[in-house]
Amino acid sequence: MSKTWIITTEKYLNATEIAKLRKVIEKAKLYAKSRGRQRGVRDHAIIELALGTGLRVSEISELKVEDLTLKREASLIVRNGKGGKMREVRFSSRLKDIIKEHLDYRDSNSEYVFYTGHSDKMSVSALQQVFKKYAREAGLSEKYSIHACRHSYAVSLFAASGYNLKLLQRQMGQRVDNYEFCVPLGPE
């Protein structure tokens, strides 16, 4: 028996909430760059990656620089997704520029895209803390975790693709025929 996942409006960020979050992380990035610091640039890339690819937080943690293709058509490889599956995820040129900026600005030779001063890669809990910090600053509900970015991506891709379940399944790395989207189908 397959479980049905119901994506309701309480599980994803709406356009206004995303705009507030983006405003806060953009400000943090600019402040960090003005001070010659990396954290705000990194945090900006983390949240934009989560919003722009729908990766699971564990997949963000495990993402390596070698898994990125930042050419004309930007994409990344998830090598060990849920169930040990590998998949390619394409993303926008805007996100490509944000990731390039992060990679150019960092001062580590870590094989992982995201790292801390204490570790070669960021843990899932460290990524969650980054999201919570900026969500709080943006005035978003405490109920949201970084996983809300995955749901937000799924909802926007589903609508933008003309409700193409196969595309959604490929990008998200899981079966979506057992998903039920209880979301508005028109503009917000």
Tens-place pLDDT, residues 123-145 = 999 999 999 999 999 999 999 99
Over range 24-52, report the average pLDDT.
97
CA distance 36 to 33: 5
Burial (0-12, 13-18, 19+ Cβ within 10 Å), 14: middle
**In this structure, how many other beta carbons lie within 10 angstroms of the beta carbon of residue 162?**
7
Q: What Rg do the C-alpha atoms of the chain give, in angstroms?
A: 16
Single pTM value for the model: 0.86
Given a cut of 80, is residue 6 above it in pLDDT? Answer: no
For residue 165, give the nearest of 182, 151, 150, 180 by alpha carbon. Answer: 180
CA distance 152 to 50: 9
The one-letter code for the residue type at 9 is T
Tens-place pLDDT, residues 95-106 = 999 999 999 999
Answer with the residue of higher pLDDT: 164 or 57.
57
Tens-place pLDDT, residues 154-168 = 888 777 777 677 777
pLDDT for the residue numbered 140: 97
Q: What is the DSSP letter of 4?
A: P
Q: What stretches of the chain adopt beta strand conformation (E)? A: 5-8, 68-69, 75-78, 87-90, 179-182
Mean residue pLDDT of the chain comes to 87
pLDDT for the residue numbered 179: 53
